[in-house]
């Protein structure tokens, strides 16, 4: 019956969906038995399954579903209400249907009947009208039920009543069935615009698009080098079409994370029953979409974390009450987009993690040397729960302590390019935060050069790029405690020289260098490379078995010229370089030096400006400059008689120093603005010229004429320079305002 | 088992070897290779073979043969050939000096490696066979590709040095 195969397959798929719905409804009804819509929805689900079984002649399955339908039907008619026993029996029924479906999928038949004790239990829950023994023959069709009622028909009034009810029930069922038929027909308009597609086909298409992207990149590069305008035009069109195709295909693979959550209500219910704990789930952001392969990859880790939260996080009702918390724990699952990633959070309001206990356990398991303990931060201590061979569960039960630890969760998440983090407050709860990339196959990356080789750095890890001129290298890049550091806006950034790290050569001191500021696992570090090229969409290809334990690279890609470039795995590179530990050492070092009031010998950077025609040079500490902007004069508006501009959706007050006021300036003239953060918000200082950025650690500021936000004067680059303090400047500006002074200085 | 087998023969450092042809996908000459920092010493780099990323294995290193000694007489012979092998669902390239003939042998003609064959090389041999009086060694790819020269990246071992 090959023509039936397709129908059978769609029966299996649909029944699977119906079962998921039914399961959710039962669990929800267990909490709120009054919810009529849920009852109706559950009834529809089981009715559809039962109906289709009849069509295929799966009589064993049908008799089971028939019983369940009877119970739910009676519930819909208000004869019975959902209670714990009924829910348990029905859920067991759901499980049994799944067993049937699996059997049907593999053997094509529904095999043997459902276990008698389950049938008996369900039978006992059907209200009196149906004291029929469910036999495959009798339950084979709806009309059989009718006859069975008639067979048992007694002349008593009582029984007559029952029959009427049963018939009424039946009409209901038919109405409902036709209603659901209507739903399917009215839904078929929608069905015409959606198609079920085999995932294998989508995966294959994705690979082909990957190849297309590569070919496009190669063509673009070739076209750019040719002097052929038509080729250039065509290749640019191809470029656009390819991007659109890629984006479109990507969308076909997106699924809402709700799909992965569908099983949780049941899972939580079972966990509650087993542990005696009470849990209220809160699901937020279920519509957040993820590539289906990623969704598949995080399904198990998420379930593990949910189990873990109930098992280890949330306390028993007694303990919770004793701690002054509500009896039922709250388990919040939320998903949202954040900077090109999807973040999934699982947080409980349980007892939190005990870092002392974790450390004790880590010591016992030999994961840690006693000497190391003191140097660990609280965050690092907690992270030991992700180590292989770690489990704080004192008794091994079938919930979490199954020998599979959180290290597996971490591995699974990291394998797909994600990361996992924990926050925990003792007594208040624990939050696991998973960052998942949107897609795996094609990622934007920055192409950099180190010696003769190109490398791809995923954009998600890249914060910024700092350019260091050759003559500044000695000065700007320093060694603290055997570690390279760079002072980035007042912070010490641990540096890693790519050549040294990768055994490619010795550091280059003759040429300009670039520092890539990278983040991994919430640690920042700088990677010194020789050159920065372009950003490109790259297609990630696996490195293969031989290179799987390479400490720095996660994959490779093929560049426009057909050569291979390696893709840096920023997180493992950070681990490999020991940046995390370096960072701690640095901070300690910095703290020690701060105590001794000996600032590390890193120069302060100043922005040199000329505020107005008459004034000389002024210096603003670079750490107090957010941005430099050049705007056209006609953007200046007025508020309370003061100059303001609209800037990034806010009002930015403008400040002019001295006589820098040219109301007759031509509208199109450009003015330069130094945007500075102050204690009152951002302000823009209007300047005539931006001269340079200088760095000096010896500048002594003498307090000469302290006015207008100028804190003093000193010598920079051989010129007398005023030092501007933006906070003081703003205070000055405010004073002018509050005095109502229109006295323009 | 008595069916004849086809072997692809080649030379590395003037020694003769063979692999079973069934595993061989193609042979490439002077294909572009990208270095991999911190890679196992036996893995020379990565090649792009029609969109697939394939590692190139320096057989000379894995077989612990001497480094290339430039022979003045045949300086036009410094081609590098890559035999692309399908192995366990993945492809790898074996870097060799010269490609020889495809020959047919009877498995019975393959003898155990002689006792005199010592050192690392012996582990990688399935046997010895003779082609027109010249001895060839039959490579065991499974053992070869699992050798630490091919699998162990420079990671843990060098870490302390970097710190």
Whether A506 has a pLDDT exceeding 60, the answer reads yes
Can you give the C-alpha Rg of chain B in angstroms?
17
Query: Do A462 and A573 belong to one domain?
Result: yes
Residues of chain B with Cβ-Cβ distance to A551 below 8 Å are 38, 153-155
Cβ within 8 Å of B, A 548-567: 549-553, 556, 558, 562-566
Percent of chain A with pLDDT over 90: 6
Whether A173 has a pLDDT exceeding 50, the answer reads no
Give CA–CA dist A174/A181, Å, rounded.
Answer: 10
Are A453 and B145 within 8 A, CB to CB?
no
The partner residue sitting opposite A564, judged by closest CB among B34, B151, B158, is B34
Number of compact structural domains in chain B: 1
Query: Do A719 and A616 belong to one domain?
Result: yes
Query: Do A622 and A719 belong to one domain?
Result: yes
Residues of chain B with Cβ-Cβ distance to A501 below 8 Å are 162
Last residue of a domain, one of A191, A211, A243: A191
Host domain of residue A677: 604-738
Query: Do A535 and A578 belong to one domain?
Result: yes
The string of pLDDT tens digits covering residues A559-607 is: 877 789 999 988 888 888 877 655 555 555 555 544 443 344 445 677 8
Mean local confidence (pLDDT), A475-489: 81
Residue B57: closest CA among chain A residues belongs to which residue? A546
**What is the β-pairing status of strands A513-520 and A491-497?**
unpaired
Query: Do A123 and A150 belong to one domain?
Result: yes
Give Cα B126 distance to the centre of its chain: 13
Give Cα A435 distance to the centre of its chain: 4
Residue A673 lies in a domain: yes
Query: Do A627 and A699 belong to one domain?
Result: yes
Residue A9 lies in a domain: yes
Residue A745 lies in a domain: no
Give CA–CA dist A437/A297, Å, rounded.
Answer: 12
Residue A210: closest CA among chain B residues belongs to which residue? B51
DSSP annotation of A311 reads: I
B61 CB contacts (<8 Å, ≥6 apart)? B41, B42, B149
Instruction: Quote the minimal CA–CA distance from B71 to chain A in Å.
Output: 28
* Crossing angle for the helix pair A2-31 and A36-56, to the nearest 10 degrees: 160
What long-range pairs does A201-210 form, CB within 8 A, spacing at least 24? Answer: A202/A249, A202/A252, A202/A253, A202/A292, A203/A293, A205/A249, A206/A249, A206/A253, A206/A441, A209/A242, A209/A245, A209/A246, A209/A249, A210/A441, A210/A442, A210/A539
Query: Do A690 and A541 belong to one domain?
Result: no
Query: Do A69 and A156 belong to one domain?
Result: yes
CATH number, domain containing residue B121: 2.40.50.180
Residues of chain A with Cβ-Cβ distance to B35 below 8 Å are 453
Number of compact structural domains in chain A: 5
Instruction: Quote the minimal CA–CA distance from B77 to chain A in Å.
Output: 25
Q: Report the pLDDT value the prediction gives residue B99, as an integer from 0 to 100.
A: 92
Whether A558 has a pLDDT exceeding 80, the answer reads yes
The partner residue sitting opposite B35, judged by closest CB among A211, A453, A576, is A453
DSSP annotation of A680 reads: T
Last residue of a domain, one of A413, A437, A461: A437
Q: Report the pLDDT value the prediction gives residue A136, as an integer from 0 to 100.
A: 42
User: A498: which 2 tokens?
Assistant: 């790519």
Query: Do A583 and A680 belong to one domain?
Result: no
Cβ within 8 Å of B, A 469-528: 500-504
Are A564 and B163 within 8 A, CB to CB?
no
Instruction: Quote the minimal CA–CA distance from B47 to chain A in Å.
Output: 7
Are A543 and B53 within 8 A, CB to CB?
yes
Confidence band of B130 (pLDDT split at 50, 70, 90): confident
Whether A167 has a pLDDT exceeding 60, the answer reads no
Are A500 and B162 within 8 A, CB to CB?
yes
The string of pLDDT tens digits covering residues A650-682 is: 888 888 776 555 554 555 577 888 888 776 678
Query: Do A321 and A179 belong to one domain?
Result: no
Host domain of residue B155: 5-162
Are A562 and B46 within 8 A, CB to CB?
no
Strand order in the sheet with A491-497: A462-468, A513-520, A523-529, A491-497, A483-488, A477-480
Are A547 and B153 within 8 A, CB to CB?
yes
Residues of chain A with Cβ-Cβ distance to B48 below 8 Å are 558, 562-564
Last residue of a domain, one of A437, A452, A468: A437
Residues of chain B with Cβ-Cβ distance to A565 below 8 Å are 34
Return mean pLDDT, chain A.
Answer: 76
List helix spans (H) across A108-198: 116-125, 142-151, 157-192
Return mean pLDDT, chain B.
Answer: 81
Mean local confidence (pLDDT), A715-733: 74
More confident of the two residues A702 and A251: A251
The closest alpha carbon to A688, from A670, A706, A675, belongs to: A670
Whether B84 has a pLDDT exceeding 90, the answer reads yes
Are B40 and A547 within 8 A, CB to CB?
yes
CATH number, domain containing residue A114: 1.20.120.160
The string of pLDDT tens digits covering residues A74-111 is: 888 888 888 888 888 888 888 888 888 888 888 777 77
Any B CB within 8 A of A453 CB: yes
Query: Do A363 and A279 belong to one domain?
Result: yes
Percent of chain A with pLDDT over 70: 78
Give CA–CA dist B86/B25, Å, rounded.
Answer: 6
The partner residue sitting opposite A545, judged by closest CB among B47, B90, B162, is B90
Confidence band of A187 (pLDDT split at 50, 70, 90): very low
Q: How many CB pairs under 8 A join A and B?
A: 88
Are A562 and B48 within 8 A, CB to CB?
yes
Any B CB within 8 A of A547 CB: yes
Are B55 and A543 within 8 A, CB to CB?
yes
User: A734: which 2 tokens?
Assistant: 């405010």
Confidence band of B69 (pLDDT split at 50, 70, 90): low
Are B92 and A543 within 8 A, CB to CB?
no
Give CA–CA dist A538/A381, Å, rounded.
Answer: 37
Are A577 and B162 within 8 A, CB to CB?
yes
Query: Do A466 and A528 belong to one domain?
Result: yes
């Amino acid at each position: 019956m090959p023509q039936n195969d397709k129908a059978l397959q769609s029966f299996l798929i649909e029944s699977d969906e119906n079962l998921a719905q039914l399961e959710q409804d039962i669990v929800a009804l267990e909490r709120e038995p009054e919810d009529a819509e849920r009852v109706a929805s559950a009834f529809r689900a089981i009715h559809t399954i039962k109906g289709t079984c009849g069509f295929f002649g799966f009589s064993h399955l049908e008799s089971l579903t028939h019983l369940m339908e009877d119970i739910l039907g009676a519930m819909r008619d208000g004869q019975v209400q959902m209670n714990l026993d009924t829910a348990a029996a029905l859920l067991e029924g759901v499980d049994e249907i799944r067993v049937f479906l699996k059997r049907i999928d593999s053997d094509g038949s529904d095999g043997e009947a459902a276990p008698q004790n389950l049938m008996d239990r369900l039978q006992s829950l059907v209200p009196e009208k149906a004291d029929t023994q469910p036999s495959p023959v009798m339950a084979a069709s709806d009309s059989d039920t009718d006859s069975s009622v008639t067979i048992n028909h007694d002349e008593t009034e009582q029984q007559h009543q029952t029959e009427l009810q049963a018939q009424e029930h039946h009409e209901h069922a038919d109405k409902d069935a036709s209603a659901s038929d209507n739903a399917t027909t009215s839904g078929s308009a929608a069905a015409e615009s959606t198609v079920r597609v085999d995932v294998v086909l989508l995966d294959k298409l994705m690979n082909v698009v990957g190849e297309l992207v590569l070919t496009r990149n190669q063509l673009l590069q070739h076209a750019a080098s040719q002097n052929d305008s038509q080729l250039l035009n065509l290749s640019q069109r191809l470029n656009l079409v390819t991007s659109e195709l890629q984006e479109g295909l990507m969308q076909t693979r997106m699924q809402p994370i709700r799909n992965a959550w569908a099983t949780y209500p049941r899972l939580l219910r079972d966990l509650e029953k087993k542990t005696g704990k009470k849990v209220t789930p809160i699901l937020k952001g279920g519509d957040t979409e993820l590539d289906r392969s990623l969704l598949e990859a995080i399904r198990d880790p998420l379930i593990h974390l949910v189990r873990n939260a109930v098992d280890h996080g949330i306390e028993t009702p007694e303990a919770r009450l004793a701690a002054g918390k509500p009896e039922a724990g709250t388990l919040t699952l939320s998903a949202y987009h954040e900077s090109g990633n999807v973040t999934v959070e699982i947080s409980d309001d349980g007892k939190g993690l005990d870092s002392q206990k974790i450390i004790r356990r880590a010591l016992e398991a030999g994961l840690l040397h006693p000497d190391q303990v003191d140097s660990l931060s609280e965050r690092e201590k907690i992270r030991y729960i992700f180590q292989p061979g770690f489990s704080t569960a004192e008794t091994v039960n079938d919930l979490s302590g199954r020998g599979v630890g959180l290290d597996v969760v971490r591995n699974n998440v990291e394998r797909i390019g994600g990361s996992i983090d924990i926050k925990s407050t003792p007594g208040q709860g624990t939050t696991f935060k998973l960052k998942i990339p949107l897609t795996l196959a094609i990622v934007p990356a920055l192409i950099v050069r180190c010696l003769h080789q190109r490398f791809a750095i995923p954009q998600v890890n890249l914060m910024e790029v700092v350019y260091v001129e050759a003559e500044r290298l000695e000065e700007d890049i320093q060694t603290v405690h055997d570690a390279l550091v760079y002072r980035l806006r007042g912070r010490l950034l641990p540096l890693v020289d790519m050549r040294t790290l990768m055994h490619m050569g010795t550091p280059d001191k003759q040429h300009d260098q670039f520092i890539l500021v990278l983040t991994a696992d919430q640690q920042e570090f700088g990677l010194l490379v020789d050159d920065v090229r372009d950003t490109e969409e790259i297609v990630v290809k696996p490195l293969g078995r031989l290179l799987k334990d390479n400490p720095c690279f996660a994959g490779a890609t093929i560049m426009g010229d057909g050569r291979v470039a390696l893709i840096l795995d920023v997180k493992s590179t950070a681990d490999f370089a020991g940046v995390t530990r370096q960072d701690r050492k640095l901070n300690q070092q910095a703290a020690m030096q701060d105590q001794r009031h000996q600032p590390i010998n890193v120069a302060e950077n100043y922005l040199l400006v000329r505020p107005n025609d008459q004034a000389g040079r002024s210096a603003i500490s670079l750490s107090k400059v957010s941005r430099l902007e050049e705007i056209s004069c006609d953007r200046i508006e007025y508020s309370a008689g003061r100059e303001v501009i609209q800037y990034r959706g806010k009002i930015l007050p403008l400040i002019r120093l001295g006589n820098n006021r040219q109301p007759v300036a031509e509208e199109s003239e450009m003015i330069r603005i130094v945007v500075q953060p102050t204690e009152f918000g951002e302000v823009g200082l209007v300047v005539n010229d931006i001269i340079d950025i200088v760095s000096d650690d010896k500048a002594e500021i003498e307090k000469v004429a302290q006015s207008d936000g100028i804190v003093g004067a000193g010598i920079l680059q051989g010129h007398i320079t005023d030092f501007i303090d933006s906070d003081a400047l703003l205070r000055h500006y405010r004073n002018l305002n509050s005095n109502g002074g229109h006295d323009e200085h | 088992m008595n069916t004849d087998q086809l072997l692809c023969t080649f030379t590395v450092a003037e020694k003769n070897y063979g692999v079973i042809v069934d595993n061989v996908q193609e042979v490439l000459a002077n294909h572009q290779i990208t270095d991999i920092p911190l890679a196992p010493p036996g893995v020379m780099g990565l090649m792009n073979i029609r969109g697939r990323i394939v590692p190139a294995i320096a057989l000379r290193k894995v077989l612990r043969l001497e480094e290339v000694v430039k022979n003045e007489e045949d300086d036009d012979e410094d081609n590098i050939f890559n035999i692309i092998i399908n192995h366990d669902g993945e492809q790898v390239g074996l870097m060799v000096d010269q490609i020889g003939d495809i020959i047919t042998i009877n498995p019975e003609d393959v003898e155990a490696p002689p006792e005199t064959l010592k050192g690392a090389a012996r582990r990688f041999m399935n046997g010895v066979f003779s082609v027109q009086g010249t001895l060839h060694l039959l490579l065991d790819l499974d053992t070869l590709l699992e050798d630490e020269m091919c699998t162990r990246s420079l990671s843990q071992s060098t870490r302390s040095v970097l710190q």
